[in-house]
Amino acid sequence: MIRAATVDDVPEIRALIRELAAYEKAEHEARATEEQLREALFGERPAAHVLIAEDDGTGGTVGFALWFPRFSTWTGTRAMHLEDLYVRPHARGAGHGIALLAALAATCVREGWERFEWWVLAWNEPTVDFYTSLGVEFLDEWRICRLTGEPLAALAAR
């Protein structure tokens, strides 16, 4: 079952984010607190949205997808950026990941958004294979750019 997250899901969302970060070998980078997530997801001006995947048999949370709208100057429409998609190891292969992606794709279609985009780590072969099976187009000619810390502060000071 796929459902929209509620404010009561924040502790579980944070746990899932930390599990994803550990899987991606970057647990030290997952610093978001429950308070930050509560404000970002359910505050006055939500920055992102979350879908929760639950096991139909137990009702337990087995995964999540965190996304936010973007805007494409080329298409003149909003688009969707999927920030995180994670299914707990014991629940993989049962259709939860594709159910989350299908629900997000349905949102795009319903809203008239022409793009649904996300990133995947190149070393994550099982996930790359999963996305390939869905017909995903990998944009190898684009590189992700990121400024943080001192370089971000230095540029801001110019």
Residues annotated as catalytic are: 131
Query: Interhelix angle for 34-42 vs 10-23, to 10°?
Result: 110
Nearest to 113 by CA among 104, 122, 121: 104
Tokens representing residue 33 in the block: 């607190």
> For residues 29 and 149, what is the distance between their CA atoms, to the nearest angstrom?
13
Nearest to 35 by CA among 13, 53, 50, 18: 13
3-state secondary structure of 90: helix
Residues 6+ away with beta carbon under 8 Å from 121: 24, 127
